[in-house]
Copies of this chain bind each other. A is one copy, B any other.
Amino acid sequence: MADPRFFAASGPFTVAEIAARTGARIGGAATPERLLRDVAPLQTAGIEALSFFDNVKYRDEFARTRAGAVLAHPKMAAQAPAGLCLLLTEKPYRAYAAAAQMFYPVAPVVSGIAPTATIDPSARIGDGTAIGPHAVIGARVEIGRQCRIGANSVIGEGSTIGDDTRIDDNVSVSHAVIGARVRLFPGVRIGQDGFGFSADAEGFVKIPQLGRVIIEDGVEIGANSTVDRGAGPDTIIGAGTMIDNLVQVGHNVQIGRNCIFAGMVGISGSTKFGDFVMVGGQAGFAGHLTIGRGARISAQAGVMKDVADGETVGGTPALPLREAMRQALALKKLTGKGGA
């Protein structure tokens, strides 16, 4: 059960209610009226908890679980222990997400402005918004309704923030136009100067960075990630895109909608991404590239050329994954032949 010091569960809900909300079909040793009070992993779930089975690595835990009900794919039903109530669905993880949100809905914002916050008189704060202790809100900032600005965060002058956006503690924002339902995790840095200067034997001359950061609706940006503002064009992060921790987004980068960037990805300036791109952890991108819609980039890849729509690439320098795997295999054979 989730630690009550940190989480308060709603509910209980019956198996039938959960089936109705998630669209799953009740199967196995069906107990539609059973009350479930929580969600839990397979190995720790008790008779009052809902769990899910979505990764075959956890097959043994599934076979031994004591959960009150388990969301699982129909083809896994045969492996369930006798007596287990199943909630069968083609997408167990998605259904679990919906069910877990029933038990643990996002807490509503408790509005109010901390007396220790420093707010410029020209800033406009929407109804129902909460601003934490020692937060700093600059001149002409506009913040929407039901937002939450964390403690010790700083919103620089002129930035705008849409409704239902949550900015966590110790965040810095400047030169930004932020949409609705955005989430910035602790330590995120938005809007600082890009890494722009002219470098030659005479030394460096800084280029004024005159663009903004545009963050569209529903974007999430993980802890301690950094997004530089544009140099002239804007840096843009498309609606619904999810960015993990410690990611670097350079100036003028344009990211499409519903992309996923795992942790520690680095994107050099002016590279553009289509929609639905997925990028593995620690991958890096040279500047001025075009990465096509639906492309997939392996973890730690070093992408130095454009990537076509729907293509999957890996390695450094990144190649189509089939080619990268062919090279790895050739190398293995080479040493297998008594090589070194």
Q: Chain B's nearest CB lies how many Å from the CB of A51?
A: 9
Chain A interfacial residues counted at CB < 8 A = 112
A250 at the B interface (CB under 8 A)? yes
Q: Are A210 and B39 in contact (CB under 8 A)?
A: yes
Instruction: Please provide the chain A residues from 195 to 251 with a CB less than 8 Å away from any CB of chain B in the complex.
Output: 195, 197-200, 202-208, 210-212, 222-224, 226, 228, 232-233, 240, 242, 244-246, 248, 250
Q: Chain B's nearest CB lies how many Å from the CB of A41?
A: 5
Q: Which chain B positions have C-beta within 8 A of A248?
A: 244-246, 263-264, 281
Q: Are A224 and B222 in contact (CB under 8 A)?
A: no
A331 at the B interface (CB under 8 A)? yes
Binary interface encoding of chain A residues 1-45 relative to chain B, with 1 for a CB under 8 A from any of its CBs, else 0: 011011100000000000000000000000000000001110010
Question: Contact check: which of B208, B260, B300, B335 meets A302 at CB < 8 Å?
Answer: B300
Q: Which chain B positions have C-beta within 8 A of A140?
A: 5
8 contacts between A and B (CB under 8 A): A6-B157, A39-B208, A44-B233, A91-B198, A170-B171, A192-B245, A264-B264, A326-B335
Seen from chain A, the residues whose Cβ lies within 8 Å of a Cβ on chain B are 2-3, 5-7, 39-41, 44, 55, 57, 91, 93-94, 96-98, 100-101, 103-104, 114, 116, 118, 132-134, 136, 140, 150-152, 154, 156-158, 168-172, 174-175, 185-187, 189, 192-193, 195, 197-200, 202-208, 210-212, 222-224, 226, 228, 232-233, 240, 242, 244-246, 248, 250, 258, 260, 262-264, 266, 268, 278, 281-282, 284, 286, 288, 299-300, 302, 304, 315-317, 323, 325-335, 339-340
